[in-house]
Structure 1
Amino acid sequence: MLVQHYAFGFWHYRPLVGDLVNAPALSEALPIPNYLRWLWTIQPFELGQFGVGLFFLISGFVLPFAFQNMGWRGFAIGRIARIYPTYAAGFICTVLGIWACSAYFDRSFPFDPWRVAIHFFPGIHDLTLSRGIDGIIWTLNIELKFYLVCLLAIPLFRRGSLKVFLIPLALSMLAWLAIGPVAAAGGSTAARGSVLWLAIFFIDFMFVGVVFHFWIRRWLSFWQGLALVAALLVAMHLVWWKSLPIKFEYAWSYGASLIFFSIAFRLRASTLFKPRRLTEFFADISYPLYVVHGVLGFAIIRVALAAGWPASAALAIAACLTVALAAAIHFIVETPTHKWGRRMAQHVSARRAGDRQFA
């Protein structure tokens, strides 16, 4: 996603980037560097949407492992500790980046305290319809809604019940029936409806990842899984077709992510996936890098270009600084809070198991 945002998004969505970092839009007189034109000429699909699709599939595949020995309280504590402290640290960096960029271009900071405060709570702030500060973390908003759905279905996950797949299919059906009336209501009702339709759309896709989890646990046959994947993709695209202004050419990007994920799943025992120091490093810092790289990186590139730096240097310094900052957040914030969350989750789950034993 870093490559997509720095090498493509920054140059092709100049007014939007300027709005995000509170700076004048980059002049169209400044051409896109030739090496970036070449990079995007040869890409077979929309790289950002490919990354989004892969991220959601991996989430759906991995998350049910957390339910094996953990109740809903332990799961909630573990997820809160895993997500919110690291997000808060990264969001502070984003706000500071916007503030610094505003100061550089002699502009007032564009957000009031309430708007900043509500953005410390992803999963909720999108429903407030507050103007977005970090346009990158919309996927985290959806991820948290997926967690809530899964939280309510923990007993089904533990039993390996195929009834768990009725949940996304039912949500899609309800969305499909409600889209028209909600859109007709207009105003904030329609806007909040659009937020929910987008979440349901991607929850269907995350449950495709859950199918792969059920496969690896031998809870369903190959043909049962294939039928479920087909049903989830149909439900996903019915909601998409009726409600969302997403380009249909993105469908190939999501399809490519599913193909890539399927191949990786089939070859999971291959030496291709043997841990390596560099890939392990980026895997470790992936979440804090996701949180900090977007708007902060845009601000760094925009200021560097305004200061007369060549594009290559601006891109390099943004990438290096955001990776270094993500690594610092990983070691200082993410690792200790994640360990604490796991200990607390295990403690709560063990205590609840003990209470049930002696009840």
Structure 2
Amino acid sequence: MNAVPRFHQIDFLRGLACLSVLAFHFLHRGQQGGWLLDPTLPWLQPLAELGHLGVHLFFMISGFVILMTAEGATVRGFIASRVSRLYPAFWVGVLLTAAVAWWSGREAFAVTPVQVLANLTMVPHWVHVEFVDGAYWSLAVELQFYLLVIMLLHFGQLRRLEWWIAAWLLVSSVNAVRPVYSLELWLDARWAPLFVAGMLYYRISRRGWTGARVLLLLWAFGLTLWYGWTAAEAGKLGQNGAVSLGTPVQVALCLLLFQGVFLLVISGRWTMRASPLVYWFGALTYPVYLLHQNIGYIALMAPGWQHIDFHLRVVLVVGAVVVVSWMVNRWVERPLSRWLRAAIDPVARTRTSGHTTPKLQAEPVSR
């Protein structure tokens, strides 16, 4: 099999997805949820409204990169790579978010010690405990996806990946017709089409197009459109307190754009060279995602600087979050990740010492 190329475009896409989520939270979601009182500029608000689709792009990226990580990996090695990648920055994010919430004294962000401890697992919802930060829901979805990949690795089923993808899409189709909480919780039924699309694009980049892969891609895209369309309709009608998420047509066009971008990546028609921008997009996206939401809301509403233009405050808060994220990456994430990986899979260096295949520069990120 040919060497895996370096997809620097993926890091760039990850950074764009993160920026869109920040815009969604600070320029739209915060106002609709009552956490922020300042209005957004009229021309910015419609764009920010579509920022939630950054999560959809994250999940597609994850499907792409996780399959690449899993191919040729052992179960222990895969677990080591995921735990070392996700948990060090996440633990810091949980503790910092809780500390800022306690310091602010704002009831809307109050957390308890038990809640913090449960959140350190990344799956507090398994024991019916709320997330310390609402943005962390997507990390639980990611982790559930990783568990499914671990099952495929353990039973040697990656060689039958297309069959398992078809089964997963069938479950997602059933859930689309009649949503079932257990399917969404344990099998990521709602988000499966996005992970599947990413996996298929990677599979195609390595093994080429087949009729089955085309059909599976079309199936996954159809389900992605269905879930995106229904969510946008619910938001438009204000059903069950849903947040407005753009018009169904806007959502569909954005989701179609994502497919086009991945087609450009795997066809080689869009390439990027390594650069400082790409590197830092890849390195800081995850800690920025972990730290931005509740801490950002609290900072934006802090007394003493409400006379400053709201949009300038957003820029300053985002800048501060980036600086803190760099510190987390430099002094916590990197050293602790290396230690965790070695502790979980101590023979990894021995196994990979003779491996010369170029790897994707940045590890897959949940948020």
TM-score (norm 1): 0.75
More moved, 57-66 vs 316-325: 57-66
Q: Distance in 1 between matches of 2:170 and 2:121?
A: 28
Q: 2:81 matched to which residue of 1?
A: 78
1:51-99 deviations in Å (ceiling 9; x for gaps): 2222112111111232344311221122112211110011212112222
Q: 1:253 matched to which residue of 2?
A: 254
Q: Distance in 1 between matches of 2:347 and 2:133?
A: 34
The answer to whether the Cα contact below 8 Å between 1:74 and 1:344 also exists between their aligned partners in 2 is no
- Could you say which structure has the higher helix fraction? 1
**2:317 is aligned with 1:318:** yes
When the two chains are superposed, the root-mean-square deviation of aligned CA atoms in Å is 3.6
Relative to structure 1, is the Cα distance of residues 72 and 340 closer, same or farther in structure 2, using a 3 angstrom cutoff? same
Q: 1:230 matched to which residue of 2?
A: 218
Which of the residues 169, 183, 199 maps onto 1:210? 199
Relative to structure 1, is the Cα distance of residues 252 and 121 closer, same or farther in structure 2, using a 3 angstrom cutoff? farther
Q: Distance in 2 between matches of 1:26 and 1:67?
A: 41
Q: AA paired with 2:325?
A: A
SS of residue matched to 1:84 = helix
Q: 1:327 matched to which residue of 2?
A: 326
Q: Distance in 2 between matches of 1:126 and 1:295?
A: 18
Q: Distance in 2 between matches of 1:67 and 1:57?
A: 16
The answer to whether the Cα contact below 8 Å between 1:10 and 1:17 also exists between their aligned partners in 2 is no
Q: 2:51 matched to which residue of 1?
A: 47
Q: 2:293 matched to which residue of 1?
A: 294
Q: AA paired with 2:259?
A: L
Q: How does 1:1-359 map to 2 (within 5 A)?
A: 3-14=19-30, 17-18=33-34, 25-27=35-37, 30-32=38-40, 34=41, 37-41=42-46, 43=47, 46-49=50-53, 51-102=54-105, 110-122=110-122, 124-154=123-153, 161=159, 163-174=160-171, 177=174, 190=181, 194-196=184-186, 199-218=188-207, 220-235=208-223, 249=248, 250-267=251-268, 270=271, 273-303=272-302, 307-344=306-343, 347-348=346-347
Q: 2:365 matched to which residue of 1?
A: none
Q: Distance in 1 between matches of 2:62 and 2:69?
A: 11
Q: Distance in 2 between matches of 1:193 and 1:344?
A: 33
Q: AA paired with 1:149?
A: L
Q: Distance in 2 between matches of 1:3 and 1:305?
A: 27
Q: How many residues align?
A: 323
Gaps of 5+ in 1: 19-24, 184-189, 354-359
Q: 2:5 matched to which residue of 1?
A: none
SS of residue matched to 2:320 = helix
Relative to structure 1, is the Cα distance of residues 155 and 322 closer, same or farther in structure 2, using a 3 angstrom cutoff? same
Q: Distance in 1 between matches of 2:30 and 2:183?
A: 28
Q: AA paired with 2:170?
A: M
1:137-190 deviations in Å (ceiling 9; x for gaps): 222111111111111112687x862x213334324434655788886xxxxxx5
For residue 255 of structure 1, report the CA deviation from its aligned partner. 2.6
1:245-271 deviations in Å (ceiling 9; x for gaps): 67682344333222222223333663x
For residue 204 of structure 1, report the CA deviation from its aligned partner. 2.6
For residue 319 of structure 1, report the CA deviation from its aligned partner. 0.9
Q: 2:12 matched to which residue of 1?
A: none
For residue 100 of structure 1, report the CA deviation from its aligned partner. 2.6
TM-score (norm 2): 0.74
Relative to structure 1, is the Cα distance of residues 301 and 143 closer, same or farther in structure 2, using a 3 angstrom cutoff? same
The answer to whether the Cα contact below 8 Å between 1:70 and 1:346 also exists between their aligned partners in 2 is no
Relative to structure 1, is the Cα distance of residues 240 and 193 closer, same or farther in structure 2, using a 3 angstrom cutoff? farther
For residue 292 of structure 1, report the CA deviation from its aligned partner. 0.9
For residue 233 of structure 1, report the CA deviation from its aligned partner. 3.0
**Larger radius of gyration, structure 1 or 2?**
1
Q: 2:8 matched to which residue of 1?
A: none
The answer to whether the Cα contact below 8 Å between 2:183 and 2:189 also exists between their aligned partners in 1 is no
The answer to whether the Cα contact below 8 Å between 1:119 and 1:125 also exists between their aligned partners in 2 is yes
SS of residue matched to 1:136 = helix
The answer to whether the Cα contact below 8 Å between 1:176 and 1:238 also exists between their aligned partners in 2 is no
Q: AA paired with 1:131?
A: E
